[in-house]
């Protein structure tokens, strides 16, 4: 068993989910986009070794977090107000960048 985790950031909306996974062993970044379907997100996430997911808090994500945990994916809710975003990124907000940042 390895001592690293694959970090997965999720940008969650009412009808879509943007995901970005970072594998620290290979440096590989994988991206995916889903409809609001926790099962397909869990299937994608469980394809990585030791996946741990986080999404920015909001009204659309709490159901997703509970569903992912039930499907075997370790998921946490990140408080956006507590996360520090670089000043250069503040003006260029989109779903893919948000998932990468998380």
* Digit-coded pLDDT (tens) for 50-76: 999 998 777 766 888 899 999 999 998
Domain 6-78, what architecture? 2-Layer Sandwich (3.30)
Confidence of residue 78 (pLDDT cuts 50, 70, 90): confident
* Digit-coded pLDDT (tens) for 18-40: 999 999 888 899 999 999 899 99
Rounded to whole angstroms, the Cα distance separating 100 from 53 reads: 12
Write down the pLDDT at residue 79. Answer: 74
The residues, any chain, with a CB within 8 Å of residue 47's CB and separated by 6 or more, are none
Average pLDDT, the chain: 82
Mean pLDDT of 70-94: 71
């Amino acid at each position: 068993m390895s001592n690293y985790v694959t970090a997965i950031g999720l940008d969650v909306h009412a009808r879509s989910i943007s995901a970005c996974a970072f594998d620290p062993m290979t440096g590989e970044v994988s991206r995916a986009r889903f409809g609001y379907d926790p099962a397909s997100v869990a299937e994608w996430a469980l394809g990585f070794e030791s996946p741990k997911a986080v999404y920015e808090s909001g009204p659309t994500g709490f159901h997703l977090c509970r569903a992912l945990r039930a499907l075997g994916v370790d998921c946490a809710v990140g408080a956006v107000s507590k996360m520090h975003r670089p000043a250069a990124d503040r003006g260029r907000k989109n779903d893919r960048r948000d998932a990468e940042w998380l």
